[in-house]
Structure 1
């Protein structure tokens, strides 16, 4: 999963059109390489906890688990660091989430149904 290509805000679970993201430029520069598929949650691994899906911070590369996981480490990292955007590392997902703007981000040309409706960040 590469980060090449332009990103845009995707309609999400009936939210009004016209939503914006002030952090799209973080995805456009492609400076954070995707993690290896075998990587695990940085918060769960030391505690021996399981996780559901992994998200990678595009600012620093931190890998945390999603909100459906017990640790919710991706969100906790956002709260602690202020880093706004994560990319899904799940092989069947190709989207990002902006925490402060509460929007899914997809590659330009993707359909609105591609990100999970009300999905797990």
Structure 2
């Protein structure tokens, strides 16, 4: 599979989800677009900005932006794959809690996610 869209030189857009930060929102886990560096929240997060980024831009490859995780995801093929080393940092700061960021996660976040999933 051709993965020429992966740009190992692009740094991440920040330490948190770009859209959630702009809206004072929160996330469960973070994902990094390996085509442009955009950091978005995962599909377990309330807003699902990483998938939204793929749908909006067509950037099909992303990587986990969680400490200790090195897996990549292809939205088109819907499969995990091993990819190259990327420009650091490779994750959000270890000091940032999951879910995060500190101070914006509701105390009942599990219940909030369940409510969102149930529609």
**Superposition deviation, residue 84 in structure 1:** 0.6
**2:10 match:** 32
> Equivalent residue of 1:45, what SS?
helix
Q: Give yes or no for contact 2:13–2:38 (8 Å, CA) kept in 1.
A: no
Say whether residues 1:103 and 2:79 are aligned partners. yes
Q: Distance in 1 between matches of 2:55 and 2:70?
A: 23
Higher strand share: 1
Report the CA distance between 1:42 and its aligned residue: 0.6
> What is the DSSP-based 3-state SS (H/G/I as helix, E as strand, rest coil) of the residue aligned with 1:75?
helix
Question: Would you say the 8 A contact 2:12–2:38 is kept in 1?
Answer: no
**Taking structure 1 as reference, are residues 35 and 63 closer, same or farther at Cα in structure 2, changes over 3 Å only?**
same
Higher normalized contact order (CA 8 Å, seq sep 6+, divided by chain length): 1
Matched, 1:73 2:49: yes
Q: 1:35–1:89: 8 Å Cα contact kept in structure 2?
A: no
RMSD: 1.9
1:94 maps to 2:52: no
Shift of 1:35: 5.8
* Helix, strand or coil at the partner of 1:26: coil
- Structure 2, unaligned stretches of length 5 or more? 85-119
Structure 1 match to 2:26: 50
Structure 1: which 5+ runs fail to align? 1-20, 109-121
Greater helix percent: which structure?
2
Correspondence for 1:14: none
Residues matched between the structures, number? 84
TM-score between the two structures when normalised by the length of structure 1: 0.61
SS in 1 for 2:18: coil
